[in-house]
Amino acid sequence: MIDEICINIHKLRRQKKWSQAYLGQLVGLDRTTIGLIERGDFNDIGIRKIERILNVLGKDLSLVNYGLPTLDQLQENE
Interval 9-24: pLDDT, tens: 999 999 999 999 999 9
CATH code of the domain containing 37: 1.10.260.40
Q: Domain limits at 18?
A: 2-56
Would 77 be classed as within a structural domain? no
With beta carbons less than 8 A apart as the criterion, state whether 78 and 27 touch. no
Would 62 be classed as within a structural domain? no
Would 65 be classed as within a structural domain? no
Q: How many domains is the chain built from?
A: 1
With beta carbons less than 8 A apart as the criterion, state whether 20 and 56 touch. no
Cα of 52 vs its chain's centroid, Å: 10
Would 40 be classed as within a structural domain? yes
Interval 22-45: pLDDT, tens: 999 999 999 999 999 999 887 788
